[in-house]
A and B are shown apart, each in its own frame.
Chain A
Amino acid sequence: MELAAHIVSWILMGLGAAFLLIAGLGILRLPDVFTRMHAAGIGDTLGAGLILAGLMFQSGFSLITVKLVFVFILLFVTSPTATHALAKSALTGNVKPMLAEDLEDTPSKP
């Protein structure tokens, strides 16, 4: 029974790590602030959330699980809020989103 819970936890944590790696690639490779924000926002909520969910399977029903749920809810609410605030701040701070025609001029700018 414990092994089954551990296997589920490993699968969830592996998925979470994969999402985090995709988000890391996105933040390095995508062309402008807004697309990078998109990658980072996904990785923050889904990647970190899956890893925390995996840890919940290891701790069982205890105070530790409650704390993990609190961290999860906090990340789930604050991370999109911070991303939204960042996007609005960047828009009012004269950063223009890159459009399709800009991409054709500079095909592989990191």
Chain B
Amino acid sequence: MEPNTAVLAAITIAVIVVLSMALARAILGPTVYDRILAVNMIGTKTVVIIALVGFLDGRPDFLDIALLYALINFIGTIAVLKFLRYGDLGKASEDEGDI
């Protein structure tokens, strides 16, 4: 195996191990904020994995997908947090300011 491929594969496996740790935290809880934090972390690691797998395959065009995933991950986290706080995604902030 080419050394560069081996290094990329090793880094990908390390990221997958971290992903499983975050998944364990998402299952364990105990509060809903722990779970949101873990899901946000899983999203970031997914972006890194998509970029790494693109380089492993010799098809770095996957980076477009990684870019999109990073955007969706951020918007999704903010949307879930706002829904938790106000129970409504369309409601504007009143006196306490936005999240």
> Which of A's residues lie within 8 Å of B, judged by CB?
6, 10, 13-14, 16-17, 20-21, 23-25, 27-28, 33, 36-37, 40, 43-44, 48, 51-52, 55, 58-59, 64, 67-68, 70-71, 74-75, 78-79, 81-83, 85-86, 88-90, 92-93, 95
Residues of A within 8 A of B21 (CB): 24-25, 27-28
Binding site for A on B (CB under 8 A): 3-4, 7-8, 10-11, 14-15, 17-18, 21-22, 24-25, 31-34, 36-38, 40-41, 44-45, 47-48, 51-52, 55, 60, 63-64, 66-67, 70-71, 73-74, 77-78, 81, 84-85, 96, 99
- Interface secondary structure of B, over-half rule: helix
Which of A21, A55, A70 has a CB less than 8 Å from the CB of B52? Answer: A55
Q: Is the interface of A mostly helix, strand, loop or mixed?
A: helix
B19 to A, closest residue via Cβ: A24
